[in-house]
Amino acid sequence: MKPHSLLMILFGATGDLAARKLYPAIYRLYKNNHISEHFALIGTARRPWSDNHFRQVVLDSIADQVDDPDHAQEFASHFYYQSNDVTDSDHYIHLQELAQKLDQQYQTQGNRIFYISLSPKLFPVITSQLKAQGLLTNQGYNRLIIEKPFGYDYQTAAELQAQLTQTFKENQIYRIDHYLGKEAIASIKNIRFNNTLFAPLWNKKYIDNIQISLAEDIGVEDRGAYYESSGVVKDMIQNHALQILALLTMDEPVSQTSEDFRKAKINILQHLRPFQSPDQVNSNVVRGQYGPSLDGHLKGYRQEENVASDSTTETFVAAKISINLPQWEGVPIFIRSGKRMDQKSTTINVIFKGLNESEMTNRLSIEIAPKLGYQLFLNIKEPGYSNANKVIPFSYELNSDQASYMPQDYERLIYDCIEGNLSNFTHFEEVANAWKFVDSIYENWEKMETSDFPNYPAGCPGPKKAQELLAKHQTYWY
Ligand code: BG6
């Protein structure tokens, strides 16, 4: 495969995400020869770093992946730094000078990826400056990668879209949802559409319910200030959980193009049934906030740094979601996510209906993290004299060696962006419809009291009501 030619301009190059995720991801692409001599990266941020200091930061961030120090040095030599005040036009003029020089030096063919890893508040000023100061090239491609959140509700997302599209067209905007870079999530379409065992059965006639569980054992760590303005619904549900839901329930795309792939997801997100009243939210959505652990070892959310001592921010949510489409009528999709639950476990369970009212059902379980694996539960006869039924799993799990070769979330997504493949990036219509649904939860929560917070101790599976939500449907969280 021929390596790609490109110049990447990264805003937020001194940040935590860049060092933890982006440089290691780009290094793996370099090691695998997807990018090589025709690649350069300009890192920008406020801090006055030199190229050499920047390269050392990059080298430090990839240290645990280096087999050949000379090759790592060679990689780091493609990194350049320019200090930048994002509101100052002059800085973009200098940035353009450096970009043009590197275009020549590395023969990047005018291909540019602008990656903004900064507060979303800065997206509009940066993109409008990029346009005003002529940083978009005429030959080659121009692509924008941005991190979540895309807006804070439907209204602000629509405003942001209007601002960004003054510079970039929708199909030049790559909105990162890092869950779409996960191996097991990318596999959902293959499982659903390439198996005779599943494709014809994937509907309300044969599926009883679907469960998506994004449980975390960590708390809010040092992100209290951000989390106070977010909560788990905006942090995990609006994006990650609803994306998984869409992948699990969308119709088979009419073609292999990313346009048709995203259209299929949009159709689902447009048909999520919004909650119309506090009563509806009350019976379908359970929210929680963690208190100190029972042994006092872990802090409660309200004791975390930069969190109000009477905060009403939710750190846990479980919900029963319905889709207003005939093929999904009556099939509940249960989702839950929370901080400081008893374990990290990102899983999907599809529970099929039993035959003839029997309780012997089939279940497909997809484990996304911490392990990566698939299990299909089938019924056989209990081996031996007995004729009783026995449930057995057919399992496939990647071992740690195999898992270490899998592209990491950001690696896969940056690779897709370089390839111009938008399938694993969210279209504005996906984001907008996800917000409309999520807004319907918040609008009703605003009318309700949260007097029972905190309502689950850190280190447990969440509030009891989350179990009751499924019990009403004669099921439980797998
Ligand atoms: C992020 C959230 O999007 O996803 C974090 O902002 C969360 O709060 C993280 O911890 C979880 O991602 P992963 O890949 O560890 O499941």
Q: What CATH number is given to the structural domain containing 295?
A: 3.30.360.10
Q: What residue numbers bound the domain in which 335 lies?
A: 180-407+427-472
Is 182 annotated as a binding-site member? yes
Give the mean pLDDT of the chain: 96
pLDDT tens sequence across 335-387: 999 999 999 999 999 999 998 777 788 999 999 999 999 999 999 999 999 99
> Considering only CA atoms, which residue is closest to atom 8 of ligand 1?
235
- 235 C-beta closer than 6 A to ligand 1: yes
Task: Name the pLDDT band for 84 (thresholds 50, 70, 90).
Answer: confident
Query: How far does residue 334's CA lie from ligand 1's centre (Å)?
Result: 19
> Considering only CA atoms, which residue is closest to atom 6 of ligand 1?
235
pLDDT tens sequence across 131-159: 999 999 999 999 999 999 999 999 999 99
Distance between CA atoms of residues 312 and 304, nearest Å: 13
User: Which of 150, 237, 240 best tests ligand 1's pocket when mutated (most atoms within 8 Å of CB)?
Assistant: 240
Query: How far does residue 108's CA lie from ligand 1's centre (Å)?
Result: 33
Number of domains in the chain: 2
List C-alpha distances in Å: 88 to 10, 126, 129, 285: 16, 10, 9, 46
Question: Is 35 part of a structural domain of the chain?
Answer: yes
Is 216 annotated as a binding-site member? yes
Active site residue 34: no
Are residues 214 and 106 located together in one domain of the fold?
no
Are residues 314 and 462 located together in one domain of the fold?
yes
Residue 139 sits in a domain whose CATH number is: 3.40.50.720
Are residues 320 and 377 located together in one domain of the fold?
yes
* Tally of CA atoms within 13 A in the half-sphere of 67 that contains its CB: 4
Q: Which of 147, 171, 196 delimits the end of a domain? A: 147
**Does residue 17 have a pLDDT over 90?**
yes
Is 235 annotated as a binding-site member? yes
- Percent pLDDT > 90 in the chain is 95
State the pLDDT at residue 76: 98
Query: How far does residue 217's CA lie from ligand 1's centre (Å)?
Result: 11
**Does residue 12 have a pLDDT over 80?**
yes
Are residues 186 and 140 located together in one domain of the fold?
no
Question: Is 167 part of a structural domain of the chain?
Answer: no
Distance between CA atoms of residues 236 and 212, nearest Å: 12
Question: Is 162 part of a structural domain of the chain?
Answer: no
- 346 C-beta closer than 6 A to ligand 1: yes
**Does residue 1 have a pLDDT over 80?**
no
Are residues 200 and 99 located together in one domain of the fold?
no
Question: Is 421 part of a structural domain of the chain?
Answer: no
Residue partners of 24: CB distance under 8 A and separation at least 6 = 61, 62, 65, 408, 410, 411
Are residues 54 and 128 located together in one domain of the fold?
yes
**Does residue 450 have a pLDDT over 90?**
no
H or E stretch covering 472? none
From the alpha carbon of 182, which atom of ligand 1 is closest?
14
Q: Which residue matches tokens 């920008």?
A: 44
Are residues 332 and 198 located together in one domain of the fold?
yes
- 314 C-beta closer than 6 A to ligand 1: no
From the alpha carbon of 223, which atom of ligand 1 is closest?
8
State the pLDDT at residue 358: 72
Distance between CA atoms of residues 106 and 40, nearest Å: 7
Are residues 94 and 184 located together in one domain of the fold?
no
Are residues 451 and 322 located together in one domain of the fold?
yes
Task: Name the pLDDT band for 316 (thresholds 50, 70, 90).
Answer: very high
Is 103 annotated as a binding-site member? no
Q: Which of 97, 122, 147 delimits the end of a domain? A: 147
For residue 271, the 8-state DSSP code is: T
Are residues 292 and 403 located together in one domain of the fold?
yes
From the alpha carbon of 148, which atom of ligand 1 is closest?
3
Determine the longest span between alpha carbons in the chain, in angstroms. 84
Query: How far does residue 178's CA lie from ligand 1's centre (Å)?
Result: 8
Task: Name the pLDDT band for 421 (thresholds 50, 70, 90).
Answer: very high
Instruction: Tell me whether strands 290-291 and 456-457 are parallel, antiparallel or unpaired.
Output: parallel
The model's pTM is 0.97
Sign of CA dihedral 245, 246, 250, 253: negative
Is 302 annotated as a binding-site member? no
Catalytic residue among 4, 38, 240, 427: 240
Question: Is 379 part of a structural domain of the chain?
Answer: yes
**Does residue 29 have a pLDDT over 80?**
yes
Question: Is 420 part of a structural domain of the chain?
Answer: no
pLDDT tens sequence across 155-190: 999 999 999 999 999 999 999 999 999 999 999 999
Question: Is 278 part of a structural domain of the chain?
Answer: yes
Are residues 200 and 293 located together in one domain of the fold?
yes
Question: Is 416 part of a structural domain of the chain?
Answer: no
Instruction: Decide if 30 contacts 38 (C-beta within 8 A).
Output: no
- 216 C-beta closer than 6 A to ligand 1: yes
Are residues 282 and 329 located together in one domain of the fold?
yes
**Does residue 99 have a pLDDT over 90?**
yes
How much is the average pLDDT of 301-318? 98
- Percent pLDDT > 70 in the chain is 100
**Does residue 104 have a pLDDT over 80?**
yes
State the pLDDT at residue 372: 95
pLDDT tens sequence across 393-411: 999 999 989 988 899 999 9
State the pLDDT at residue 451: 78
Q: Which of 99, 126, 147 delimits the end of a domain? A: 147
